[in-house]
Amino acid sequence: MSGPAPGKASLPASLVLVGAGKMGGALLEGWLADGLPGARVAVIDPSPAPAMAELCAAHGVALNPASPAEPEALVLAIKPQGLEAAAAALAPLVGPETLVVSVLAGKTIADLKTRLPRARAVVRAMPNLPASIRRGATGAAASPETREEQRRTAHALLAGVGLVEWLEGEELIDAVTAVSGSGPAYVFLLAEALAAAGVAAGLPAEVAGRLARQTVAGAGELLGQSPEEAATLRRNVTSPGGTTAAALGVLMAADGLEPLMRDAVAAAKRRAEELAG
């Protein structure tokens, strides 16, 4: 289920970001680029990177304020293993009206409510690495108490780093983790495997590496920009009896890429379930 349209109007009037590392920093950059005034944001991070401290200073974002007020929304972007230690300081910031948005891998809505006892509206989200260039893919699930306008706010916040897909149930987050969360690594492996195959076909390693990298990046860009489905784009470049068809005969065989990918995603999903306990 795709969610409501995001919009500047849905960004919260007051926001606390906890953890301004890779993901938190990308989110903050996205919000500021979307027009969220820095004065509406407070960042809590005991040792922010210099670039993050500069970004906060440049936009008037309060960095580690002495006593931040209870915000309309609080975004949690610390490492999952840091939640327990951080919770005591955060719990007073989260009231029954505060929307909590967490990107913590493996931390369930129930875990978050246990640590932040007054929280009611909790959105658990799983973004992915291309969030760092605002081309991320995020799956999100909301606690039943989350009101429609809070869901819109969560959507606007997560859309700061790319696509947002709302899930019917939180249990689907493990499948999202296995598809889009871990997915960028599968695509990087495709570039590696294509380069290695190029070397086996006789190309110098550096040439094969550059060609494979640009092929994956260029095809990804084309897919991102095109209104067509991936299968249509594939068919469009496959002449019957041609070279691409010969390769796809191998990749699309009964023991080809599709069953391999199904097994890989199933393994990642099982692991996500184990890690979430």
- Name the one range near ligand NAP by CB under 6 A: 45-53, 152-160, 205-213, 222-230: 45-53
φ, ψ of residue 79 in degrees (nearest 5): -65, 145
Contact call for residue 19 and ligand NAP (CB under 6 A): yes
Among positions 21, 53, 234, 264, the unique one binding ligand NAP when judged by CB under 6 A: 21
Among positions 46, 117, 240, 241, the unique one binding ligand NAP when judged by CB under 6 A: 46
- Closest by CA to 273, choosing from 183, 175, 180, is 175
Residue whose CB is less far from ligand NAP, 9 or 66: 66
Contact call for residue 182 and ligand NAP (CB under 6 A): no
CA distances 24 to 28, 89, 172, Å, are: 6, 18, 23
CA distance 35 to 46: 26
Contact criterion met (CB below 8 Å) for 65 and 42: yes
Residues 75-104 binding ligand NAP (CB under 6 A) are 77-80, 82, 85-86, 103-104
80 is in an annotated binding site: yes
CB of 62 to ligand NAP, least distance (A): 14
CA distance 268 to 240: 35
Reported as type and span, the H/E element at residue 18 is strand 15-18
| Maximum CA extent, the chain | 69
Which residue has the CB atom at the shortest distance from ligand NAP? 21
236 is in an annotated binding site: no
Q: Which residues pair with 152 in a beta bridge?
A: none
Hey, what are 46's tokens? Answer: 């005991």
φ, ψ of residue 178 in degrees (nearest 5): -75, -30
Give SS3 for 94: coil
Hey, what are 72's tokens? Answer: 């309309």
- Compute how many residues bind ligand NAP; rule: CB under 6 A: 26
CA distance 88 to 76: 14
Contact call for residue 180 and ligand NAP (CB under 6 A): no
Which residues, other chains included, contact 7 with Cβ-Cβ below 8 Å and sequence gap of 6+? 152, 156
Residue whose CB is less far from ligand NAP, 68 or 127: 127
Contact call for residue 172 and ligand NAP (CB under 6 A): no
Residue whose CB is less far from ligand NAP, 99 or 104: 104
Residues 101-140 binding ligand NAP (CB under 6 A) are 103-105, 126-129
Residue whose CB is less far from ligand NAP, 195 or 268: 268
Among positions 11, 16, 18, 161, the unique one binding ligand NAP when judged by CB under 6 A: 18
Q: Which residues are annotated as a binding site for NADP(+)?
A: 77-80
Residues forming contacts to ligand NAP in the complex (CB under 6 A) are 18-24, 44-47, 77-80, 82, 85-86, 103-105, 126-129, 181
Q: Which residues are annotated as a binding site?
A: 64, 77-80
